[in-house]
A = this chain, B = another copy of it.
Amino acid sequence: MLPTTITPPKQAILDAAQDLFAQHGYEGLSIRDLADRCGLAKATIYHHFADKQALFLSVLERDTQLVHDRLLEAAASEQNPPAKLRAVIYTYCTLMSERRSILLCTLREIGGIEAHIREFISQRRASILGPVVTILAEGMAAGLFRPLDPEMTALSLIGMVHAFITFRLLLDNVQIGSDVAEHIYALFLHGIVQENS
């Protein structure tokens, strides 16, 4: 009836699943709860997705794609590497705070997860680190940044944000604001050492 581009029920399931996976993790999402939340019967979920794993991968793909796109947009909105970095840090903080990307939320239960999913997650990680690595490489080439390993450095940056999400937002329910983003930006750029003339 609706002339929408994508079938609504499938999207509604994905939306609800994104929420629940982010809150409860892979094992923690119950198909029954998901169905209830969607106002559908359990069996209907299986009409749209082969099984829980397929559902998870769909959500993960959509989710990481969104993060990837937003980071690219943020980088593109600025001209020089430091400004790009700043935009990316702000964007990543906001995204994690608002959507709690399930990539982040699933990382800690990796031990119990099937190899198949792990590989998929491993690939998706690149699509998040990618935009950051690009900026770092750009800055190093321009002589603005020191010649560090770009992958490790990007991973370190991502880790700082995650620490605030997990230890502050999730644990203490304290909102992550621009002060955190600014702190991370400053620390990441200049370190803690007092540099003298």
The interface of chain A, by Cβ under 8 A from chain B, is 22-25, 27-28, 82, 104-112, 118, 121-122, 125, 136, 139, 143-146, 148-149, 152-153, 155-156, 158-164, 166-168, 170-172, 180, 183-184, 186-195
Contact = CB atoms under 8 A, between A and B. Distances in A.
Contacts of A121: 171
B193 A144 contact: yes
Contacts of A158: 163, 167
Contacts of A28: 27, 109, 111-112
Given A108-B108, A183-B148, A194 B143 contact: yes
User: When A and B form their complex, which 4 residue pairs have the shortest distance between CB atoms, in order from nearest?
Assistant: A159-B163, A108-B108, A191-B191, A23-B111
A121 B173 CA distance: 13
Contact residues of A: prevailing secondary structure: helix
Contacts of A156: 160, 163-164, 183-184, 187
Contact of A170 (B111, B149, B184): B111
Nearest to A154: B163
A36 to B, nearest CB: 13
A79 to B, nearest CB: 17
A164 to B, nearest CB: 6
Nearest to A184: B156
